[in-house]
Amino acid sequence: MTTILSGIQPSGTPHLGNYFGAIRQHIRLQDDRAEAFYFIADYHALTTSRDPVQLRERVRETAITYLALGLDPERAVLFRQSDVPEVCELTWLLATVTGMGLLERAHSYKDKVAHGVKPSVGLFAYPILMAADILAYDSTQVPVGKDQVQHVEMAQDMAGHFNAAYGDVFVRPELVLPKLDKHAKVPGLDGEKMSKTYGNDLWIFASGKPLKKAIGRIATDSRAPEEPKDPSQLLLFDFLRLFLDSEEIESWSSRVRAGGEGAPGYGHLKQRLIAAIEEFFAPARAKREELLADPAEVDRILARGSERARERACRTRDRALAACGLR
């Protein structure tokens, strides 16, 4: 049976780029005839986070976000990484067969150090923990973006090294790249890549005045409404395409392209975008409010997910320990 595994970084309030780039795909995968394991990577977060209160809040916010947006805990296993300590045992076992050269080639480590992150041992060994996460659940498919391809390839290498030394213990995972999607790249409010780091992001659950204020920041120029414009060159249309069907997009495009009296201005387009976002995420916002009002239910979901995940991870851990003589 196909087993899907993916990690979710508890990086704070998720934005539109997170939704269209990953969250939506994760939720869709639960409809396939496959097992889906999704862990909130709080161990990984410790390589950069030093605020325990903030980390706990971000883990909870991540769980609530996925549940509000449609993840069904009966069809997908959602859990905290730190609730499955067996991955730390597997990390050590894999570390004993992993060469330093493999870790030294890690793009993520080099990039983070280059951007000022302190080069700790944890950051250096990050790929081994990630490999343990992947291998612990006998994962067969790991959906990743292009920036995560190397981590899956390193997990394949580590599984191969361990199996060569001790026999067939770990299942070799295969990476799955996302299909080309017009929604895959979501621009920021300034036209650059959407990122919390750049301060150009839009929170998924923004509504009312905060949403209106954020949409008001979308970069435009000083051209008058009646001046003909190319919709493909307008940042506002990149956002509208995320939420409107092709027929409505074409209608707005034709009017903007033609210009003249009655042509919509940037204000009209922003008003339509606000209404579309409000409508699109309305059910998820309502579900989020329910979850915020019942924190015990969120705890129960995560506890049950951790229990199911540990059942699988314990079997893998025991198999690995026996293979190398520790059982």
Residue with tokens 């997009």: 249
Q: How many residues does the chain have?
A: 327
Catalytic one of 110, 179, 196, 287: 196
CA dihedral 75, 280, 10, 129 (to 10 degrees): 50
- The per-residue DSSP string of 288-299 comes to HHHHHH-HHHHH
Structure tokens at 102: 């493999």
Is 112 annotated as catalytic?
yes
| Pairwise CA distance, residues 78 & 94, whole Å | 24
| Pairwise CA distance, residues 224 & 266, whole Å | 9
Q: Are 36 and 4 in contact (CB under 8 A)?
A: yes
Question: For residue 3, how far is the Cα from the chain centroid?
Answer: 18
Alpha helices for 180-265 (secondary structure H): 208-216, 235-243, 246-258
Is 229 annotated as catalytic?
no
Residue with tokens 């051209």: 223
| Pairwise CA distance, residues 22 & 145, whole Å | 8
Catalytic one of 118, 182, 185, 193: 193
CA distances to 40, 57, 133, 267, 279 from 60, rounded to whole Å, are 9, 5, 20, 36, 25
Is 196 annotated as catalytic?
yes
Catalytic one of 112, 182, 185, 229: 112
- Single-letter code of the amino acid located at 2: T
> Using H for helix, E for strand and C for coil, what is the string for 81-140?
HHHCCHHHHHHHHHHCCCCHHHHHCCHHHHHHHHCCCCCCHHHHCHHHHHHHHHHCCCCC
The catalytic site residues sit at 112, 193, 196
